[in-house]
Amino acid sequence: MNKLIGLSIILSLVFACSTEKHSSQWQSYSGDPVIEYKVDSVLSLMTLDEKIGQMNQYSGNFASTGAVSDNQSGKYLKKGMIGSTFNVFGADHLRMLQEQNLKYSRLKIPMLFAADVIHGLETTFPIPLAEACSWDLELMEQTARAAAEEATASGVAWNFAPMIDIARDPRWGRVMEGAGEDVFLATQVARARVRGFQGISNYRDLSKPNTMMACAKHFVGYGAAQGGRDYHSVDVSEQSLYDTYFPPFEAAIDEGVTSFMTAFNDLNGVPCTANNYLYKDVLRDAWGFKGMVVTDYTAIMELMHHGFARDLKQGAQLSLDAGIDMDMISEAFVTHLKELVEEGKVSEKQIDVAVSRILEMKFLLGLFDDPYRYFDAERQKQVVMSEANQSLALLAAQQSIVLLKNEGKVLPLSTEIAKKVALIGPFVDERESLNGEWAIKGDRSQSVTLREGLEARYKDSKVQFAYAEGTELPLLDRSTMKAEKDNQDAERGFAEAVKVAKASDIILVAMGENFHWSGEAACRTDITLPGNQRELLKALKQTGKPIILVLFNGRPLDLSWEAEHVDAIVEAWYPGLMAGHAVADVLSGKVNPSAKLVMTFPRNVGQIPIYYNAKNTGRPFDAKAPSDYKSSYIDVDNTPLYPFGHGLSYTSFEYTNIMLNAESFGKGEAVKLKADIVNSGDCDGAEIVQLYIRDRVASLTRPVKELKDFRKVVLRKGETKTIEFTIDEAMLSFRDKNRKQITEPGEFDIWLGASSDDESNRFVISFK
């Protein structure tokens, strides 16, 4: 309490003694003159060393994702020169660390604590790629808010999420963190997750102790890394930047996101962390972003490896010149900025601008009023792993599971038909991988296994389960970044699995990737099932029994053999804490699957990158009229194995009475598209109705299809609901060669369907 009183007295003196507003020439995020005055007042009393210290961020070494410099955190803490620390957890622990910071900070400037709360703190929700498959924006906002409630009660005021990179290459391990390949859907998900994490309607709400800063990452193009290899170069046109990679980030700003994180990659020859065009021309000048920008882990240090900076000192200069406010881990700013100022290579005004942004966020979060406001041990006990959060985790997992195939309607598992079920595969009892990567504080020992979920679900039935692992799950040796050699004989374990399968009515096989096989620095050139899991499936196929394959993984896989030979495929992804219960609910039919893919599944890696909204060619392939010298492969179809938007249900839906109220419209007008959606099947369900558009002729080539809107419609058995879409000028617009948003007159194809390859309901409209 004495420390708080001392801090309050110092701040009162600061504001009373500052007769002139310090001119730092910064643009305030809040636009609040009182907040601006407070920031400038504190800034006016700071030494150059103290300013530079605020631009310095350290890791708690909880989750190291790269090489670090000679860590001098202890030295700089005692000088009051650490602005932020991340991945340190626990209200009591962080309270002690804040006390140490305030002890050494001359002006009692509070430290800002951050973390990578990607899909839950301790209550682990499905990985973001899985959640996006629910197409349920409200649900995604709810899970983000629940994660923020747990994190803020545990001391975290700044979240390094959401990742909103567009990703079209499943070899890239970090596809598991994003919302997939589509610009429109990913933009809507970005908005929902920013709203959920921050929990604010305006900047004043940030002072509430259950709100936090979100961070839009990684700006920009990270998902387009060449070869699907993490941290690799990116070379995309300016048109692609504006059409594909910029929109989610611009939308995040519209939702009030408070911070951005730089991308590791270079972009057309300039590393993002030192890219003036990105951070000054686009982010600040064009979009008007006024929040903070932090580097990714050691990104300034890596400018030397890029061959863009000769040493760390030059890297510090280049990054500050580009508009970077805070250095994560590299110690570039804290080591070299003072010297650069003395040499006249950077100005103190540049530093003032960066520090002003950092201080403003600390004021907005209420940290100057109460540096301990986020360290609420009592609230931590109440909200972390609460019953409500666990129930939400179950719902999110249920809604994220995609039914890829269901030949012969072997699902749901009927107790009348499936009296004896063989549970086979390495994921039947696997627990550690169910949370996926970036589970942060999620206790992997508490995740519900598939066997536990099934036994709980069928405990009152006469269904009998028999188990055989069949094969082990290959692990990953991160010291060599290679899979551990699988020395087991291909037949080892197969005989027992086949024996169990032969004695059963149906075979339920659970397979996938160890969680280390996806995520950061987990890229693959072979995206088939790891190890000899496919060989086990081939052995089981010889029994002639129906096979249901349940997959636990963090990326689209090459399932070309599986899709042809097994009867049903359930894509469960990494469902999180309630994995076993959620999958059992879907398999049993208690929950009717409704999720749809947000990334295309290729037939093989040779098709990559493959995504639904590609552009046409001058020689497009036509399957109905094939000929030589067309854009096609000689060894595989052009089409994907499973397209964007694909996902089956246990019921069936019909689209009827589809009507346009007009076939053409002009500026300031719109067309209404109505349709009746009928649940014509045998059970309740939900359908995700998707609206696609194609501009037939334009001054710049346009994609063959673009998702423009969707509705998730919940229908009881036999029920009909009418839905309506509004097609206006903005929906038909694109950026021209001068980056101006325009809508050109012409004809547009309109599709209403259940997936991106659904051609059944097509219409043509004209814009005049």
Strands 476-477 and 464-468: unpaired
DSSP symbol at 175: G
Set 40, 266, 296, 567: catalytic member: 296
CB of 280 within 8 A of CB of 234?
no
Calpha distance 30→9 (Å, rounded): 25
Calpha distance 7→553 (Å, rounded): 49
φ and ψ of 76, to 5 deg: -75, -30
φ and ψ of 688, to 5 deg: -100, 105
Rounded to 10 deg, the angle between the 2-17 and 91-104 helix axes is 50
Cβ partners under 8 Å of residue 142, min gap 6 = 196, 392
Structure tokens at 514: 């160890």
Residue position matching structure tokens 């604010």: 200
Residue type, 656: T
Q: Which among 519, 527, 71 has a CA at the least distance from the CA of 330?
A: 71
CB of 206 within 8 A of CB of 364?
yes
Structure tokens at 386: 């609460």
* DSSP string for 237-275: -HHHIIIIISHHHHHHHHTT--EEEE-SSEETTEEGGG-
DSSP symbol at 279: I
Residue type, 75: K
CB of 41 within 8 A of CB of 359?
no
Active site residue 40: no
Task: Kindly tell me the burial class for residue 742, based on how many C-beta atoms sit within 10 Å of its own C-beta (0-12, 13-18, 19 or more).
Answer: middle
CB of 303 within 8 A of CB of 336?
no
Peptide bond into 500 cis (omega under 30): no
Q: What amino acid positions are annotated as catalytic residues?
A: 296
